[in-house]
């Protein structure tokens, strides 16, 4: 069974940093691209970043230069380093598995809440 478990969320002050983790199991982690997608309370889904099997990374302009996605295949883990956090980054952050042939998420974790507030 595919499982994605996010952790590392919490309350952080504006300008602060936070590192999210996603523990994957039930599939060959190294063979899949992985994405982070966020959702502010009562709002829609917003794509945050993607990493390919060979470590290629992609970001939207809203987080480029502030967020860094990475992976550690030996630990079946995905990470999101978030710096210079703003109130607008407050959201539930989901990690998602992405088959190469599909190019978009097929399985999602349950999410971890990040709150940026003073």
The most distant pair of C-alpha atoms in the chain lies apart, rounded to whole Å, by 43
The nearest distance, CB 14 to other proteins, in angstroms, is: 24
SS3 88: helix
CA-to-CA distance for 112 and 101, rounded, in angstroms? 27
DSSP string, 26-56: SS-GGGSEEEEEEE-TTS-EEEEEEE-TTS-
Nearer to other proteins, 4 or 18 (CB): 4
Contacts of 63 (CB under 8 A, 6+ apart): 48, 49, 82, 89
Task: Indicate which single residue of 94, 112, 114, 116 sits in contact with other proteins (rule: CB under 8 A).
Answer: 94
Smaller CB separation from other proteins, 24 or 37 = 37
Q: Which of residues 50-69 bind other proteins (CB under 8 A)?
A: 50, 58-60
Nearest distance in Å: CB 13, other proteins: 27
Q: Which is nearer to other proteins, 30 or 110 (CB)?
A: 110
* Residues in the chain, total: 118
| Listed ranges 19-27, 73-81, 82-90, 107-115: which one lies at the site for other proteins (CB under 8 A) | 107-115
**110 makes contact with other proteins (CB under 8 A):** yes
Using CB under 8 A, which residues numbered 18 to 57 contact other proteins? Answer: 35, 37, 44-47, 50
């Amino acid at each position: 069974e595919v499982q994605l478990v996010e952790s590392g969320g919490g309350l952080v002050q504006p300008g602060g940093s936070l590192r999210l983790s996603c523990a994957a199991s039930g599939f060959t982690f190294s063979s899949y691209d992985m994405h982070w997608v966020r959702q502010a309370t009562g709002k829609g889904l917003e794509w945050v970043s993607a990493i390919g099997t060979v470590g290629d990374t992609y970001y939207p302009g809203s987080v480029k230069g502030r967020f860094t996605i990475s992976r550690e295949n030996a630990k079946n883990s995905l990470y999101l380093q978030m710096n210079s956090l703003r109130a607008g980054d407050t959201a539930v952050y989901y990690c998602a598995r992405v088959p190469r042939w599909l190019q978009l998420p097929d399985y999602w974790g349950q999410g971890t809440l990040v709150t940026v507030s003073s």
